[in-house]
Amino acid sequence: MHFTVEKDILLKGLSRVQAIVEKRNTIPVLSNVLIEGADGELQLTATDLEVGMRSVYPANIKKPGKITVAAKKIYEIIKELPDREISFNVKENSWIELKCGKAQFNIVGLSADEFPHFPQPDKANFLQLSSKLCKEMIEKTLFAVSHDESKYNLNGIYCCVRPETNYLRMVATDGHRLSLIDKEIESVSSDELKQGLILPRKGIMELKKLAEESDSELLIGFMDNNAVVSKQQTVIIMRLVDGEFPDYERVIPKTNEHRADIAVDPLLHALRRMIILSSEKSRGVKMTFKENQLVVSSSNPELGDAREELDVDYVGPELEVGFNARYLLDILQVQDQDQIQLFLKDHVSPGLLKPAQEDGYLAVVMPMRL
Amino acid sequence: MRQRKIIHVDMDAFYAAVEQRDNPALRGKPVIVGGDPSSRGVVATCSYEARAFGIHSAMSSARAYQLCPHAAFVRPRFDAYRAVSLQIRELFHEYTDIVEPLSLDEAFLDVTENKPGIEYASHVAREILQKIFQRTRLTASAGVSYNKFLAKVASDVKKPAGLTVVTPEQAEEFIAMMPIRRFHGVGRVTEKRMLARGIVNGSDLRQCSLEDLQRWFGKSGQYYYDIARGVDRRAVVPNRVRKSIGKETTMDEDCADKGEMILVLDKLAKKVEALLSARNTSGLTLTLKVKYDDFQNVTRSLTQLEPIENAETMLSLAEKMLDRTEAGIRPVRLLGLTISNLTTDIPVDETAQMELPFHLN
């Protein structure tokens, strides 16, 4: 294979696949990127067998072919090359000769035969999703995904379509808090989404990047145990999480009668101040609700204590409840509205948070014992 | 490294068995512990009689009712289960302190070194099963092997009241015959995908290369590769639990006035009560600590039959114990109250974060 390509194009393509490539892998070829050239197009593919990505870029293909090469190394090299056209030439025994200006590299490649098969999705049954909407839904749920690998069924976002509706739902929980969003989409004929499925965190992060790149539509489909997402010249394929998502609806409080209406910004800033003196491990802050007043406080035996008063709308009995400030900040940071409602029952039951104007979002946070 | 000796003990149909033990009318009958059939609840445990109808845990109670309408549906009594759980854990600790409880009714024990110095782990397991029955009138099953994975699978082989030993020599054959669904970590979806590739049992799994397993199953590939070879390096990690909850205070000045000391004890008792109630626990033993003005410490303890949880009880016990010290005759600089013999497990590194109640009905 021999092709020439602008540095910027190749660099962009290689930088996109860096997050996919597995750092510690027992299969050597997986730390490589597959580079294929044919019909005036350059195709870059990377996979860790959980998440794969393939993108197509324009290039001047002088001789078609394919090769794999260490993804990190080639990226480092291309990054440092001058802003000129690069010549990429595969020689005998999988050696790659790179030329750019007066610089020349000879790099060890690995035959493309070793590289795992990347399925060609059939886009007939794909559903369309606006990039903007997808990004919003992921942003509002991703933070609640569990990092505990032993809770593998919580290591992703649960996606489903509400029965008899066109509402797409995303839910994430780590067992301590839960974040849920419903948004109307155009039409759904996917049986997989009707049944519900779990997208893995790593795949979600790539999907989010893809959604952020431009406003054009995303196409999402499912095949075997994979979700396939495509947008313009890029395809992402991710293995669905093999597990059952817990019965999350059961932990969404329905009878929390004590409601506080709180301005998002002042609370966000107060929490950022109070968290400084909270215990580093638990991040607990105390929230004391009195008539039209909320006192947020924290204390640390080694450092001292802090408190801040906020004006809120609250008429219930005096209520004292501990929360992990980090969990509340995660929720507040993704709000678009100025006001949020917190529904509480007591200091040991889950608290429910919703934006003041119903917009399909809710969060549930379990208190802490302080 | 020296070969480990690990026992996995699993109570048989635990919740249901406790219900049948405590209510003779339920014995010999299908019993389902869990949610009400008219609710959205699920089956937590069911008796062996109910399993004959195809009922299993995690099934919806409504479905269980369809399968066996004459079954007795019982709401769980966690206090009763916790009490038994404490009893059996106490028993485990007579053999080893390396006990890792997985739930109320299941635990790993590392008996490589055991307190009675019994040579064979299978003899330890046999004794434990017998003692569990003697003390609780409930049966348990045990698996004995050289790692956690095999011990856990083995405990399930001869349920109920069974003991299965897998020695290093037997491991290969044991794994080879095992249907893949029995491998811990193989869920329904993975099972289907393994079957589709012709992997029916451990022997088939062992034929697969690491590369293939990783290609097919991603990160879990390494795990499947290892367990097919009987390799599991995980150690038994004891859950370190708090043994006591208490509070002490140094007086502003050394004090020889008993009345004043009782006021201090009253405050301490109220604080300890709050600490207990915040953790939803109680304990059987109260200890009074007295430090005299010459820094000499003495303690006095009283153990009750009923768990101690309120400040009033603590104060009246503390007053009695105070009379058994030289407080008042000698000036006192510090007083403390501690509750031990706790009725629930409180982790040492108490993360005060509570869990969302996914499992409650």
CA angle B21, B27, B33 (to 5 degrees): 75
Average pLDDT over residues A73-92: 94
pLDDT reading at A191 higher than 60: yes
Contact B357 A282 (CB under 8 A): no
What are the strands, taking DSSP E only, across B186-320?
Answer: 244-255, 283-292, 297-308
Residue B356 lies in a domain: no
pLDDT reading at A17 higher than 50: yes
Count up the domains in chain B and report the number. Answer: 3
With contact defined as beta carbons under 8 Å apart, do A227 and A240 qualify? yes
Residue B152 lies in a domain: yes
- Using a CB-CB cut-off of 8 Å, the residues of chain A touching B211 are 26-27
Same domain, B261 and B325: yes
Same domain, B200 and B247: no
SS3 call for B63: helix
Picking from B194, B275, B353 by the largest number of A CB atoms within 10 A of its own CB, the best residue to mutate is B353
The pLDDT score that the predictor gives to residue A305 is 86
> Closest approach of chain B CAs to the CA of A130, in angstroms?
30
Compute the distance between CA of residue A22 and CA of residue A53 in angstroms, rounded to an integer: 13
pLDDT reading at A130 higher than 60: yes
Last residue of a domain, one of B165, B184, B215: B165
Mean pLDDT, chain B, rounded, equals 88
Compute the distance between CA of residue A183 and CA of residue A68 in angstroms, rounded to an integer: 41
Same domain, B58 and B121: yes
Which are the catalytic amino acids of B? 106
Residue B361 lies in a domain: no
pLDDT above 90: percentage of residues in chain A: 75
Average pLDDT over residues B226-233: 88
Same domain, B160 and B179: no
Contact B354 A178 (CB under 8 A): no
CATH code where residue B211 lies = 1.10.150.20
pLDDT (tens digit per residue) in B181-217: 888 777 777 888 899 999 999 999 999 999 888 888 8
Domain that holds residue B214: 171-227
- pTM score: 0.60
Compute the distance between CA of residue B203 and CA of residue B177 in angstroms, rounded to an integer: 7
Lowest mean pLDDT among B175-179, B180-184, B235-239, B286-290: B235-239
Q: Pairing between strand A127-129 and A103-108?
A: unpaired
Tally of CB atoms within 10 A around A348: 15
CATH code where residue B132 lies = 3.30.70.270
The pLDDT score that the predictor gives to residue B359 is 63
The pLDDT score that the predictor gives to residue B38 is 81
Confidence of residue A157 (pLDDT cuts 50, 70, 90): very high
Confidence of residue B1 (pLDDT cuts 50, 70, 90): low
What residue has token string 């009995």? A317
pLDDT reading at A154 higher than 60: yes
Confidence of residue B249 (pLDDT cuts 50, 70, 90): confident
Residue type present at position B158: K
Whether the upstream peptide bond of residue A58 has omega within 30° of 0, thus cis, is: no
Compute the distance between CA of residue B242 and CA of residue B250 in angstroms, rounded to an integer: 23
The pLDDT score that the predictor gives to residue B361 is 37
The pLDDT score that the predictor gives to residue B7 is 97
> Closest approach of chain A CAs to the CA of B187, in angstroms?
7
Same domain, B148 and B281: no
Same domain, B260 and B203: no
Please name the residue of chain A whose CA is at the shortest distance from the CA of residue B39.
Answer: A250
Last residue of a domain, one of B165, B181, B200: B165
Compute the distance between CA of residue B205 and CA of residue B185 in angstroms, rounded to an integer: 14
Average pLDDT over residues B11-34: 94
Contact A369 B214 (CB under 8 A): no
Contact B357 A250 (CB under 8 A): yes
Calculate the alpha carbon distances from A181 to A219, A221, A248, A332, B156 in Å. Answer: 20, 20, 13, 14, 41
Residue B250 lies in a domain: yes
**Spatial CB neighbours of B109, under 8 Å, sequence gap ≥ 6:** B6, B7, B8, B9, B92, B95, B96, B98, B99, B100, B124, B128, B236
Same domain, B5 and B115: yes
Contact A27 B357 (CB under 8 A): no
The pLDDT score that the predictor gives to residue A25 is 63
Tally of CB atoms within 10 A around A82: 11
Same domain, B16 and B114: yes
Q: Is the dihedral of CA A204, A207, A212, A215 positive or negative?
A: negative
Confidence of residue B350 (pLDDT cuts 50, 70, 90): low
Lowest mean pLDDT among A292-296, B14-18, B192-196: B192-196
pLDDT reading at B337 higher than 50: yes
**Spatial CB neighbours of A166, under 8 Å, sequence gap ≥ 6:** A184, A185, A186, A187, A188
Chain B interface, Cβ < 8 Å to A:
40, 187, 189-190, 193, 210-211, 214-215, 218-219, 222, 278-279, 351-358
Tally of CB atoms within 10 A around B295: 8
The better pLDDT of the pair A88, B159 is held by A88
The pLDDT score that the predictor gives to residue A147 is 87
Same domain, B45 and B115: yes
Compute the distance between CA of residue A176 and CA of residue A174 in angstroms, rounded to an integer: 6
Phi/psi of residue A24, each to 5°? -110, 100
The pLDDT score that the predictor gives to residue B215 is 83
Residue B13 lies in a domain: yes
Q: Report ipTM for this prediction.
A: 0.82
The pLDDT score that the predictor gives to residue B360 is 47
pLDDT reading at B314 higher than 60: yes
Last residue of a domain, one of B115, B144, B165: B165
Average pLDDT over residues A249-276: 95
Picking from B188, B349, B354, B358 by the largest number of A CB atoms within 10 A of its own CB, the best residue to mutate is B354
Contact A369 B352 (CB under 8 A): yes
**Tell me, what DSSP letter sits at residue A186?**
S
Helical axes A325-333 vs A264-274, angle rounded to 10°: 150
- Of residues A143, A146, A370, A144, the one with CA closest to residue A274: A370
Lowest mean pLDDT among A226-230, B14-18, B20-24, B180-184: B180-184
The pLDDT score that the predictor gives to residue B348 is 58
Same domain, B185 and B275: no
With contact defined as beta carbons under 8 Å apart, do A344 and A358 qualify? no
What residue has token string 């405590």? B22
Chain A interface, Cβ < 8 Å to B:
26-27, 48-50, 116, 173, 175-178, 225, 239, 242-244, 246-248, 250-251, 281-282, 284, 322, 324, 348, 350, 364, 366-370
pLDDT reading at A370 higher than 80: no
Residue B355 lies in a domain: no
- Using a CB-CB cut-off of 8 Å, the residues of chain B touching A202 are none
With contact defined as beta carbons under 8 Å apart, do A140 and A334 qualify? yes
- Using a CB-CB cut-off of 8 Å, the residues of chain B touching A49 are 214-215, 218
Calculate the alpha carbon distances from A68 to A29, A82, A94, A210, B10 in Å. Answer: 8, 23, 9, 24, 51
pLDDT reading at A26 higher than 90: no
Same domain, B193 and B280: no
Of A225, A282, A367, the CB nearest to B351: A282
Confidence of residue B102 (pLDDT cuts 50, 70, 90): confident
Calculate the alpha carbon distances from B107 to B98, B125, B128, B326 in Å. Answer: 10, 12, 12, 45
CATH code where residue B304 lies = 3.30.1490.100
Same domain, B177 and B42: no
- Of residues B357, B355, B295, B291, the one with CA closest to residue B325: B291
pLDDT reading at B231 higher than 50: yes
Residue B23 lies in a domain: yes
Residue B120 lies in a domain: yes
